[in-house]
Chains A and B, each alone.
Chain A
């Protein structure tokens, strides 16, 4: 783990994307389903996954979307990114969703649909 932005401990199944996510407008606030046709997660729900993606993009108001999906029980269990961006950082902080940054190598080694366990206390990320 390169950096811990929001602390927490979870076990879950990886949902991986190679494309940055714009939370404002492309993620359904109620269901957590991605509505952007050009996204590799199109029509998939990010709910209850460990969401692995490069970074967030777009308006910082997207942080409220992350808060909304959490309020609607449609949020990921945790997020793992390569790069820090303030939308995802503050969104995860508002919603209390663990968020860590990992190196390029670590990011590449994480596979879609695999089991992963994350614990920011012990700084462990077990695949």
Chain B
């Protein structure tokens, strides 16, 4: 990799230990992904916030760098393990709470905006076309590359952190013009967000760094997010294109059969003890739509709704949170279905959700069974 004189000096330690470490991370990542140089980025979004995922080693690391490290560009943050407003309502152990708070404090000391959201593309202004960013959250990286006309690698927690501190990122293949070597033909009719989640999950498995998908039709925001979430969960593919006909590249179909295979892999229960909505977290559109779907109805069981704090505050002003709480929803900010310590197999056997991403992590990390249904089916079956 070619480095500028300034980058060489940082790598040698002439700009302090933190800059040296950050440059070591960028160089190692760049060499591993065949990047030829570092380029400036304007926005970093960090993962590695939930104590459930980064553990003691992560907590200690962040605490030690937080004394000196400061971000150089706008930097936003993924969800953590709980909603800071109602920690005491959940049976979380002291150690979890104190370690999670330490992680939160470290990121704030570094200068990160404590957004605790996995949908930065929906709650912050999206910069102009072709802006280089560094997003570590997989659904956000895919959304940025595929819908927002931004450019990002599918960053790791470490490369995104190093990018936040240096304002730079390796110029890897996803940042350049790329042409996918595979096209998936979407053949399932009347798709719901669940179908798009499964399509994303399928595409993530078969796709390389990017994939074309034809026959998508009009998709609403919920469906787009479901597809990005599904794709980010199953592989390393970090971009999809929507060209109708791609000649000269391999084509495969996504039909009922492929869809059912994904369904059977992730759906392990006939019904759930609780319902969760939001993975990725729900934006204001989805909260508004959910409110109107629940008019005059209420949940027969517990329903957890995950949404960013910024959205929750807007929803409050618009009267949506009152309505949702009336319908029996428990609205949670700062955290998400994925990897939440709020759901575990000691108190829950199975969860009903419309999220493929949520299903994957509930099953593999929380160890609970999952019952997959679209939102329309959830409202029909689980409310009265």
Contact = CB atoms under 8 A, between A and B. Distances in A.
Interface of A: 3-7, 29, 60-61, 63-65, 67-68, 71, 84-87, 89-90, 92-94, 96, 99
A87 B48 CA distance: 13
User: Top 3 closest A-B pairs, CB basis?
Assistant: A64-B57, A84-B32, A90-B158
A114 to B, nearest CB: 26
Contacts of B39: none
A2 to B, nearest CB: 10
A6 B23 CA distance: 10
A92 B50 CA distance: 22
A102 B259 CA distance: 41
A85 B29 CA distance: 9
B157 interface: yes
Contacts of A29: 56-57
A84 B31 contact: yes
Interface residues of B, number: 23
Interface string B341-383: 0000000000000000000000000000000000000000000
Contact of A67 (B31, B32, B57): B57
Interface in B179-224: none
Interface in B14-50: 21, 24-25, 27-29, 31-33, 48
A6 B61 contact: no
A89 B60 CA distance: 20
A4 B31 contact: yes
B29 A89 contact: yes
Contacts of A63: 156-158
B31 A90 contact: no
A66 to B, nearest CB: 9
A86 B57 contact: no
B53 A71 contact: no
B31 A86 contact: no
A66 B159 CA distance: 16
Given A71-B60, A90-B156, A90-B158, A61 B28 contact: no
Given A63-B156, A93-B158, 4 more contacts: A67-B57, A86-B33, A90-B156, A93-B21
B61 A93 contact: no
Contact of A94 (B32, B53, B158): B158
A6 B158 contact: no
A99 B28 CA distance: 9
A94 B158 CA distance: 8
A85 B33 CA distance: 9
B48 A5 contact: no
B235 interface: no
A57 B24 CA distance: 20
Given A64-B61, A67-B61, A3 B21 contact: no
A61 B157 contact: yes
B58 interface: yes
Given A67-B61, A71-B60, A90 B28 contact: yes
Contacts of B29: 86, 89-90, 93
17 contacts: A5-B27, A6-B24, A29-B57, A61-B54, A61-B55, A63-B158, A65-B57, A67-B57, A67-B61, A84-B32, A86-B33, A86-B159, A93-B25, A93-B29, A93-B158, A96-B24, A99-B28
A96 B61 CA distance: 14
A65 B61 CA distance: 10
Contacts of A65: 57
A124 B273 CA distance: 61
Contacts of B28: 5-6, 89-90, 92-93, 99
